[in-house]
């Protein structure tokens, strides 16, 4: 996705994106991998392991997958590098920590490298010096399957800036900067059923935020484990809990 040429920011943030949550076969191993890759720590939440983010970097959470329910995969991560040496070091870390390459062809160093973590979650080591992800931090982007309407939904839901908008491609970014979230519509994007990844939001008043987000186009899916569940306009699940 090319470098943005404009941005739109609307209003104050009323909910906060705490983490992208993954169903994982081994939550501890996946969390340790990502904490090492991104230079973070892990927090054992009792049934889940959080790799906390901050004001500019999105957090990651790993929970035990329900046996027999793999769900669909709707997003992947982009990890940045500044130089070819940085990218090589990141590749070495992936393999050392139990990740793997996707594909068997010659390794195109200096270009995007397609990888998977120990739990099979896909991600990319982005080519060094990528202008679009400049200054976004180690976790440069969360790239989702979905169309323009979904990107605009999340812009308004989070009160983030719209930093790319062309055809069905959109991207948003916190006013503080850091990790971008992007959508690119795929003809195979499922719109129903459980997803292996989802967004976890925090709000001071989840009920009030639930009403607002439904008004923006979310669909209510009840409650689970003390959180309110929803689906965005492309059917990807997300939750809101108090915090």
CATH number at residue 77: 3.10.180.10
Does some domain include residue 242? no
Distance CA 69, CA 55 (A): 33
Does some domain include residue 231? no
- Would you state the structure tokens that stand for residue 93, as one six-digit string? 């870390």
Whole domain around residue 157: which residue ranges? 20-196
* Mean pLDDT of all residues belonging to the chain: 89
pLDDT tens-place string over residues 116-144: 999 999 999 999 999 999 999 999 999 99
Does some domain include residue 202? no
Does some domain include residue 75? yes
Does some domain include residue 209? no
Q: How many domains does the chain have?
A: 1
Does some domain include residue 44? yes
Does some domain include residue 201? no
pLDDT tens-place string over residues 51-87: 999 999 999 999 998 765 556 678 999 999 999 999 9
Provide mean pLDDT across the span 83-101.
95
Does some domain include residue 230? no
- Residue pair 1/132 in contact (Cβ under 8 Å)? The answer is yes
Residue 4: CB atoms within 10 A of its CB come to 16
Whether the per-residue pLDDT at 4 is higher than 50: the answer is no
Whether the per-residue pLDDT at 45 is higher than 60: the answer is yes
Distance CA 208, CA 190 (A): 28
Under 8 Å CB-to-CB from 167, ≥6 apart: which residues?
148
């Amino acid at each position: 996705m090319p470098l943005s040429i404009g941005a739109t920011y609307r209003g104050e943030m009323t909910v906060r994106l705490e983490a992208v949550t993954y169903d994982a076969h081994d939550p501890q191993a996946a969390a340790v991998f990502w904490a090492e890759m991104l230079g973070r720590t892990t927090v054992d939440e009792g049934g889940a392991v959080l790799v906390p983010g901050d004001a500019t970097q999105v957090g990651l959470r790993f929970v035990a997958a329900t046996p027999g329910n793999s769900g669909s995969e709707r997003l992947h991560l982009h990890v940045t590098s500044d130089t070819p040496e940085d990218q090589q070091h990141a590749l070495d870390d992936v393999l050392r920590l139990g990740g793997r390459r996707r594909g068997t062809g010659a390794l195109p160093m200096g270009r995007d490298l397609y990888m998977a973590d120990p739990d099979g979650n896909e991600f990319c080591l982005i080519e060094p010096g990528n202008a679009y992800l400049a200054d976004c931090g180690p976790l440069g982007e969360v790239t989702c399957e979905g169309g323009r309407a979904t990107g605009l939904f999340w812009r308004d839901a989070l009160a983030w800036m719209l930093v790319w908008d062309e055809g069905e491609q959109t991207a948003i970014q916190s006013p503080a900067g850091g990790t971008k979230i992007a959508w690119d519509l795929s003809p195979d994007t499922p719109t129903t059923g459980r997803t292996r990844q989802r967004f976890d939001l925090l709000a001071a008043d989840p009920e009030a935020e639930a009403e607002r987000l439904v008004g923006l186009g979310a669909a209510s899916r009840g409650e689970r484990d003390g959180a309110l569940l929803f689906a965005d306009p492309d059917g990807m699940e997300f939750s809101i809990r108090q915090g």
